[in-house]
Homo-oligomer: A and B are copies of this chain.
Amino acid sequence: MADTIDWSPVQRSRTYQLVLEKVEQQIIAGRLRVGDRLPAERDFAAQLGVSRASLREALRVLEAQGAVRLGVGTGQDSGTIITALPRKALTRFLRLHVALASFDMDELVDARIGLERSSVRLAAQQATAEDVARMTELLEGMEAKEVSREAFNDLDTEFHVSLAAAAHNRLLSEMTIAIRASVRPALLEAMERHQHWEELKHTLCGDHRAILDAVAAGRADDAERLVSEHIRGAYLALFSPGPGRS
């Protein structure tokens, strides 16, 4: 009988964690909203019955998650203020875990394909003329003869981010940005190593044109298929062993 008992380890709660949970609960319950300000650290620590050091450890975690902003001084920007700035946090998180091999390139590519298919479908349904104009500009920048590989990659990133932005979905945008940022070094390195760069660049630009045309014309199914093939094709060209390496 005793074999089956689940003696799951009791986990001790560290002080900073209790504080963190308390603040998170207030946020999740809706009692703390963006723009609200928490008490000054010394007062807050006293109210919670913990030291300022422990409180600060909790606040640091919230800050790193983009949920609060800490500012010195006495003005409007001072104190601990609830914010909603997920970008840096998400990017940092993904970059770290890519480096730690929590996620590898294949996994990122498949996730990207899924996310961007949703993006272009939505973009095809609701992209504005300005969205299309902006992306057209980016395309022209990428097609320029003299553009460096690094500049090309950054324009490419901006193009895909703009697609997500045209979908008016912040989660898709932020994840697209974070994924691109986390693979940027690997992408640049693969581009440098690629032996038929001009050719590949031409292919990618063609892909982009086709995707943008489909989005601008509202052809969602085409756009989905094209973006899926584009991402997988680019990945295969850059990372699969083959003609790219000698």
- Which residues of A are interface residues toward B (Cβ below 8 A)? 16, 24, 27-28, 30, 33-34, 53, 56-58, 60-61, 64-67, 82-84, 86, 89-90, 92-93, 95-97, 99-103, 106-108, 110-111, 113-119, 122, 167, 169-172, 175
Judge whether A170 and B107 touch: CB under 8 Å. Answer: yes
CB pair A100 B82 closer than 8 Å = yes
Cα A171 to Cα B103 in complex, Å, equals 6
Judged by DSSP, the binding face of A is helix
List the B residue with the shortest CB-CB distance to A24: B96
What are 29 pairs between A and B in contact, CB < 8 Å?
Answer: A27-B99, A28-B96, A33-B100, A34-B100, A57-B57, A61-B61, A61-B64, A64-B64, A67-B97, A67-B100, A82-B100, A86-B97, A86-B102, A89-B93, A93-B93, A102-B170, A103-B170, A103-B171, A107-B169, A107-B171, A108-B171, A110-B122, A110-B169, A111-B175, A113-B118, A114-B118, A114-B172, A115-B115, A117-B117
Copies of this protein in the assembly total: 2
Q: Looking across the interface, which residue of chain B has its beta carbon closest to that of A93?
A: B65
**Which of B53, B97, B107 is A84 in contact with, Cβ under 8 Å?**
B97
Task: Verify B28–A107 contact, CB threshold 8 A.
Answer: no
User: Once the chains bind, are A101 and B84 in contact (CB under 8 Å)?
Assistant: yes
Closest residue of chain B to A112 (Cβ to Cβ) is B118
Residues in chain B near residue A171, CB distance under 8 A:
103, 107-108, 110-111
Min CB distance A109 to B, Å, is 10
A57 to B99, CA, bound (A): 22
Residue of B nearest to A29 (CB): B99
